[in-house]
Amino acid sequence: MKNNRIRRRVYELLSKAATPAHAPVSGQRELHFVFFRKPNRFIESDDRSGHLGGVRLEQTTLKGDNELVKQVAVALKSIGYKSVAIDGLPFDNYKGIVPNHGGRVLADASQDHTQYETGLYVCGWLKRGPTGIIATNLYCAEETLACVSDDIHRGVLTSNSPKPGREGLLHLLNSRNTRVVSFDGWEKIDLEERRRGNLKNKPREKLTTWEELLKVACE
């Protein structure tokens, strides 16, 4: 596990979630991990039409190599989500993704993986569709970043004009009259959410409105 970043990250997240930070409180909701299960059927509530009443589970099967760590679980795919097309980018309406190879956007999905839109890259669900588990985005982003880095080293990405950097971004946002929250503001939000959570014996209590967020960030 120590040589696999994704597995290590999944283990760390699960371990943290399974280890309560505080002693149990009467009436508090509990989280239980039950492995090798997947939803088979969503059951409507008996007394509230259109509301979820329960979930029927079935045992997950494993496929692949005989070695346990190399097997893949046959699991439920993400439902209710599909990416939308972006102006100027090729789009596969059936898969709901921008056609790409390793993160490099393809100029024409009908061709082989040799013609790319220079300087265009994609990652996340827009890259692979609504699939993956905790930490899958780590690998996905690393793969795309490797393509960007490789293109820079091979001279594919070149520019004779200086990059304006942070100051250029701030100037652009200001010209569009776009209000931003600084990192200092985010730290204030983080601190306040933790403070509120501590009062309720929780890791944090989320601020759920723009008004609350901006008020705390600007204090």
19 domain residue, yes or no: no
State the total domains in the chain.
3
Q: Is the dihedral of CA 145, 149, 155, 161 positive or negative?
A: positive
- Domain range for 66 is 31-76
Report the 10 Å Cβ neighbour count for 142.
13
> CA 40 to CA 55: how far, in whole Å?
7
Provide the pLDDT for residue 76: 65
Residues 68 and 91 in one domain: no
Residue-level pLDDT at 149 = 93
Q: What are phi and psi of 92, to 5 degrees?
A: -100, 100
Same domain, yes or no: 93 and 152: yes
Per-residue pLDDT reduced to its tens digit, 122-148: 999 999 998 877 678 888 999 999 999
Please indicate, yes or no, if residue 11 is contained in any of the structural domains: no
Q: Among residues 158, 181, 205, which one ends one of the domains?
A: 158
pTM over 0.85: no
**CA-to-CA dists, residue 130 to 15, 71, 89, 123, 155, angstroms:** 25, 21, 19, 12, 33
CATH number for the domain that contains residue 148: 3.40.50.720
Cβ-contact 147, 153 below 8 angstroms: no
Provide the 3-class DSSP secondary structure of residue 190: helix
Higher pLDDT, 127 or 114: 127
What are 10-55's pLDDT values in tens digits?
A: 888 888 877 776 676 777 777 778 888 888 888 999 888 888 899 8
Q: Give the CA radius of gyration of the chain.
A: 23
